[in-house]
Amino acid sequence: MSRARGIATLASAALAALIGAASAQATPARQGWRPIAAGDGNQAWLIIPVDAPTLGGTGASTRTVGRLHHTSLAGAIGAVGVLRAHPVLEPPLVVTAHDGRLTLIYAPRAQDGVRSHPVRSMRAVSRRGPGGLETTFFDPPDRFAVEPPLETSGRLVAAADTALGLAALIQTGDGWSLSVLTREGWTAQPLPPAPGAEFVDALDAGPGLALLARTDAGAELWTLETLDGPWTGRAIDPAILSADRIALPIGIVTPSPTAGGLSLILHRDGRSLPLAHVDGVGPGAAPARLGDHVVVFWSAGENAEQISLAVVSGVTGETLFRGPARFGPPLTPSDLRLVGFLLSAVMLGVLLFLLKPETPDQARPAPGFAIADLARRTLAGAIDAALAAGVSALVFRVPVIDAIDPSHLVLLDGADSWPVLATSAIYVLHGTLGEWLAGRTAGKAMTGCRVASTRGPRVRLWQALTRNLVKVLVPPLVALVLVDPNRRHTGDLIGGTIVVMRSDQASDQHDAGPEDDQPDDG
């Protein structure tokens, strides 16, 4: 027993080292990265920099990417979902949102003297079903959509997604220009009649778009409700131009950092009024619109992923919520498919169990052998799974955790599914060949277990293949070992196999015999 315990300890240490090596993280400099948020009438988005593990070269390393978070007025207030299938691989220049669509504009790539800004987008639609259950659909579900690039010879000053389309304000050597992305592509739009104005920002203005301009007289807000239509201008408080801006239906909110937190100032009807003060917010706070409210995200501790948020009413200034983000990924169509798959698997398992032949006598271990205990079988399965995942992770250069994520296998999330499919194939191949040829896998050999047939002297190929396929294709059915008197799961019942180990009495009687003798079925 001490030898078996030592082998188990060694195997556990090897498994932990394998997973730890793939998950090891450094802390590289996050140049160009900062938390950034955007929102619209129903959704709000947050991008925070995190250190993501990568495998390449001679060892594990990390790179900084943006992790996308999402919250919606349709869900519980304070609930934040994490979209791990939509990593932001480089810092965007602009993040803007409108009508459930998030748009990212990146730094330009020089092409034949033209600055080409890559543009990516995705859309979120929240619906409530029976019982008030919220379902959020993301399109595309596993990546960002590629939009027509913004090509310009000037500098991108600002951009905003609006009801008229994605508007980009550009400064060139000759002055200013405005381009709007419509179904026909990027089209030039006339600027407001403001000679000598310096345009500062583009905003979502409800039915249209707005431009902020600095003039000799102060500041102006110009709005456009239809493409190629007339501009309407009015004077505004110049203080709006000296801070970040959040456009609400009621007015414009400017967040101003203070020694104790973040002050929110509401500008409307030519007046500037204190709206609210969010205490305890650091300099890395990221405010955004959320319907008629302002949501402020910030990191609550040293870990950038410990997110807190405050939701402030844009009408009354009341703090509607303040506290740590309640993480719970929104229920997506992929989640519903996963639930459907698991329910189907359970129903299939029940059907197979009811139709299995009753052969209790044949399932008894041969003399000198005992039914393998759950601890040995669990450790053996973990070792075999770790070996398969390790090989797959090395081949595809991904973290081990990504090679065993069952959601990728069930949902076939693009390229992310291949490492999981490879892990499953390696696991089935290893188990089938090992149990057919030698009655055991590497994990079973290390833990002193083996597979025996209840239908003949040795395990046949189809029996080994059946028990391993059932474990991979219908994982919940493995739980049958907890209630079966002979510790057999559905794969064992269908294939006619049983997992055994040598008993202490048999070990004393066969010390001189070969260890790999196949047990008789008597």
* Each residue's pLDDT expressed in tens, for the chain with a length of 522 residues: 444 444 444 344 433 333 333 333 333 345 568 889 999 999 999 998 887 766 444 445 677 888 899 998 877 788 888 887 788 989 999 999 999 999 999 999 877 667 899 999 999 877 665 445 566 778 888 889 999 999 998 899 999 999 999 999 999 888 899 999 999 999 999 999 988 889 999 999 888 999 999 998 889 999 999 998 999 999 998 989 877 899 999 999 999 988 889 999 999 988 899 999 999 887 789 999 999 999 999 987 666 668 899 999 999 999 999 998 887 544 555 555 566 666 666 666 666 555 555 555 456 777 778 888 888 988 999 999 999 999 998 998 888 887 887 655 554 445 567 888 899 999 999 999 999 999 999 999 999 999 998 887 889 999 999 889 888 887 766 766 776 777 887 778 888 888 999 876 344 434 434 344 445 443
Amino acid at 135: T
Q: What are phi and psi of 279, to 5 degrees?
A: -80, 155
The contacts of residue 39 (CB under 8 Å, 6+ apart) are 45, 97, 288, 289, 290, 295
* Residue 340 shares a structural domain with residue 475: yes
Query: Does 158 map to a domain?
Result: yes
Query: Does 49 map to a domain?
Result: no
The contacts of residue 134 (CB under 8 Å, 6+ apart) are 72, 74, 75, 126, 127, 128, 330, 331
Question: What is the C-alpha to C-alpha distance for residues 67 and 103, in angstroms, rounded to an integer?
Answer: 15
* Residue 229 shares a structural domain with residue 343: no
Q: What is the pTM of this model?
A: 0.61
Q: What are phi and psi of 57, to 5 degrees?
A: 70, -130
Question: What is the C-alpha to C-alpha distance for residues 400 and 16, in angstroms, rounded to an integer?
Answer: 11
Query: Does 177 map to a domain?
Result: yes
* Residue 221 shares a structural domain with residue 347: no
The H or E element containing residue 123 is strand 114-128
Question: Of 218, 236, 254, which closes a domain?
Answer: 236
Triad 491, 426, 463: Cα angle to 5°: 30
Query: Does 273 map to a domain?
Result: no
Amino acid at 157: V
Query: Does 262 map to a domain?
Result: no
* Residue 370 shares a structural domain with residue 504: yes
Domain that holds residue 342: 2-17+332-509
Question: What is the C-alpha to C-alpha distance for residues 502 and 505, in angstroms, rounded to an integer?
Answer: 8
Q: How many domains does the chain have?
A: 2
Amino acid at 296: V
Scored b (16 or more CB within 10 A) or e, 28-64 reads eeeeebebbbbbbbbbbbbbbbbbbbebeeeebebeb
